A = this chain, B = another copy of it.
């Protein structure tokens, strides 16, 4: 498509999405759940098609020399397809947030005011490698009464096409306005910029992906954005830490699934405990093929580590790489995290009451942990039943986003002729 055609194409999808919002907002819960169950079944039935489309995407990615952690995110296998199908069912079990009264009041002048939960309207989602986002976001959007415009990653466009076909078929069977889910079927990057200007059609933009994508969206969008998922997370090991616990948490938070945003990228170690913990920690990391970078001090203990640059401290590796820094005290650890961190998830391992209290209070992040792995920052692990993403901004919602993150409120006011004097 030419640039002008892309613009026209994206605008058309957004307009259609917006036009459907009144139909979607007023759907009853049973109809929405019926759609979710139909989609769940179709995913299981279509495993072969999905895997075949996904295999062609992955083959093409391999040929372009894409990293193994990115391939991991692109992959759909039997297990992940079952997970997607189960995800649809889980969303059907969640309470419908729409129409609930957040609060109500009768004012002295007799006005009755109800603050009700309503859908956001039409949500634009820009995402990268993970095709399961297509299913996740769609099911959460429909359950919360929203239309959604999907712009998935070019690298999985074949997989996404198959998934969107299943979604459209399921909407049709459930007798829901099919315009509620729009898929921008192009690998042309200019489509994103057109999408970001659709004020009036799109009510909120959610980018899910790399730091570069999110920065681009934030700087170019005319539509309110919910920033998600950049995780330059830290583990701070205090001088009072239980060494065994610190080792266990560090290994888990770094290596259990390095490609996700709630994994740690940095370990900060109090200078007084460094000689106890650094050598066993590095040994455990090396056993799991983790590449070690470190500050000057760290290099004294770990001769073959790479010296970390200023850029390293800002970086989310998304990979089996860790940077270690020895700090002189808690204060330095907190300052370092607040300067370089992405306000996602930050943890302290300590046995000292005051240090823990101060860390949890002064570290500015969506989730702060005492003596636990950062890997728990997740809608499922928090008990939300589903997750739209993890917000790293402060507006609207922070941390794991459940269904309510896709809603807003509306004041409905009943009077009998009240005027203001």
Contact = CB atoms under 8 A, between A and B. Distances in A.
Interface of A: 22, 26, 105, 107, 111, 113, 115, 120-121, 199, 203-204, 218-219, 222, 224-226, 242, 245, 248-249, 252-253, 256, 360-362, 364-373, 375-377, 381-383, 393-396, 398-399, 408-421
A364 B252 CA distance: 47
Contacts of A225: 224
A381 to B, nearest CB: 7
Contacts of A411: 366-368, 377, 382, 398-399
Contacts of A113: 382-383
Nearest to A244: B417
Contact of A415 (B222, B361, B370, B415): B370
Contacts of A222: 218-219
A107 B373 CA distance: 14
A148 B384 CA distance: 34
Given A199-B218, A371-B415, 16 more contacts: A105-B382, A107-B381, A107-B382, A111-B372, A203-B394, A219-B222, A242-B417, A248-B419, A249-B419, A252-B419, A256-B421, A373-B415, A373-B418, A382-B411, A395-B408, A399-B410
B414 A370 contact: yes
Nearest to A200: B339
13 contacts: A105-B383, A115-B399, A248-B417, A248-B419, A252-B420, A360-B412, A368-B410, A369-B415, A371-B414, A372-B417, A395-B395, A396-B396, A399-B410
Contacts of A365: 410
A398 B394 contact: no
Contacts of A369: 413, 415
Contact of A368 (B120, B199, B413): B413
Nearest to A400: B411
A365 B224 CA distance: 17
